[in-house]
Amino acid sequence: MSRTPAEIAKENTARLLKAFRAAKVAESDLWGSTGYGLDDVGRTKLEAVYADYFGAEAALVRPQIVSGTHAAYLIARALNLQVGTTVFCPFRPYESVFHNITPLLGQTVVWDGTGTTRGDYLWLQRSGGYTWNQGLNIDELADLIRTFKGNNPNGLVIVDNCYGEFVEEVEPTSVGADLVFGSLIKNPGGTITPTGGYVVGKADLVAKVAEALYGPALGSEQGSTGSFVREALQGLFLGQLLTFNAILGKLILLEQLANTLKERTPFADIIVRTRWGDLETQLAAARVVQRMGPINSHVTPEPFSMAGYENPIVMAWTGFVQGESLSLSADAEVAEPYMLFIQPGVNVFVAEMLATELKQLVSMC
């Protein structure tokens, strides 16, 4: 029997507190470093907490990793994906991620997860991304990793964990992933961490990513943090509770809106996938999302061109950190079938109000 979101959040919180206590995080660790960032004890403890919570050998958690897309690029460089075959499953990564790593790829294969496949790397995306697909939950990730490694004993598994952190009781590193990465302006940032990304996994592989970020002579020894350590630790702690709230918001929207992709549980991510039938209604839905939040409620989202996407996109964002998407937000390409991907935010009362507003648009479709 699958566990309830509350049971999952309670267990995850206990595991996170255990990681904080094991690292002996102290007030004096919160102030970060300047200059080169040498001997940054707070940064060391932050990464120890991440490694412990994710069940990984090592972690790299840095403000110099500006996004999940940037982390993907660093991994592709660090592992030299130009040599060998990278298997994507069950579809290619997000367009922005794919276009960013394309120059670093050798041969690529898209595998549907059945039968035998051969490759040196398996690249999995936990979230369904900007497609009409639910993502891969932990059981599905485990099955794919087991099958791939059965066919490719020396193969490495990379998981894009964006939007999926804390949604289930364990993370992909606990089911065989060698490297897992994500963004701190999504779930792990708890809506307050202002920037940053993380990579967790096998120690030798994480070290290679640090070299790709800073250079082989520096590795992970440098990289000042300033106020980042406090904001990252606090965001990680709050991220558990706020991801739980986002899942409750997702359940509200899935129940009340007829135009959503009805996903099985446990979910793979916090995203609600909607279809609107035509351009006018798609943009109207994005504008409803925009006016429901505390920031920029007076702004009208309009389509615009963005690097990495073939079509114009529309974005609604209502949080306090630019682009932060654990808060109420939505985005999509402006093209048929006029989908909108909604992150339901961390306040269930706002999610209820949003559902009421969007239901009126659904009735017009």
The DSSP string of 83-117 is SSEEEEESS---HHHHHHHGGG--EEEE--SSS--
183, 261, 331 from 350: Cα distances, Å: 24, 21, 18
Output the pLDDT for position 364: 74
Q: Do domains 5-236 and 244-362 have the same CATH topology?
A: no
Angle at 363 between CA 360 and CA 365, to 5 degrees: 115
CA distance 170 to 278: 39
Task: Compute the distance between CA of residue 214 and CA of residue 221 in angstroms, rounded to an integer.
Answer: 9
pLDDT by residue, tens only, the chain of 365 residues: 578 999 999 999 999 999 999 999 999 999 999 999 999 999 999 999 999 999 999 999 999 999 999 999 999 999 999 999 999 999 899 888 998 999 999 999 999 999 899 999 999 999 998 889 999 999 999 999 999 999 999 999 999 999 999 999 999 999 999 999 999 999 999 999 999 999 999 999 999 999 999 999 888 999 999 999 999 999 999 999 999 999 999 999 999 999 999 999 999 999 999 999 999 999 999 999 999 999 999 999 999 998 767 889 999 999 999 999 999 999 999 999 999 999 999 999 999 999 999 999 988 76
Q: Which residues contact 360 (CB under 8 A, 6 or more apart)?
A: none
What pLDDT sits at residue 131?
A: 87
Residue 163 contacts residue 183 (beta carbons within 8 Å): no
Q: What is the pLDDT of residue 365?
A: 66
pLDDT at 1: 56
Question: Architecture of 5-236 per CATH?
Answer: 3-Layer(aba) Sandwich (3.40)
Helix, strand, coil percentages for the chain (3-state, nearest 5): 40, 15, 45
pLDDT of residue 95: 83
* CATH match of 244-362 with 3.90.1150.60: yes
**Whether 49 contacts 25, CB under 8 Å:** yes
With CA atoms as reference, report the closest residue to 159 among 104, 214, 87, 111: 87
Torsion sign over Cα 329, 276, 299, 359: negative
Give the pLDDT confidence score for residue 94 in this predicted structure.
85
Q: Are 68 and 162 in contact (CB under 8 A)?
A: yes
Asked if 69 contacts 97 with a C-beta cutoff of 8 angstroms, the reply is yes
Domains of the chain, by residue range, sit at 5-236, 244-362
Paired strand residues for 108: 86
Q: Which residue stretches of 68-187 are H helix?
A: 68-78, 95-101, 138-151
Helix (H) or strand (E) holding 237: helix 228-256
- Strands 272-275 and 339-343, how do they pair? antiparallel
Residue 157: which residues within 8 A CB-CB, separation 6 or more? 121, 122, 124, 145, 148, 149, 176, 177, 178, 179
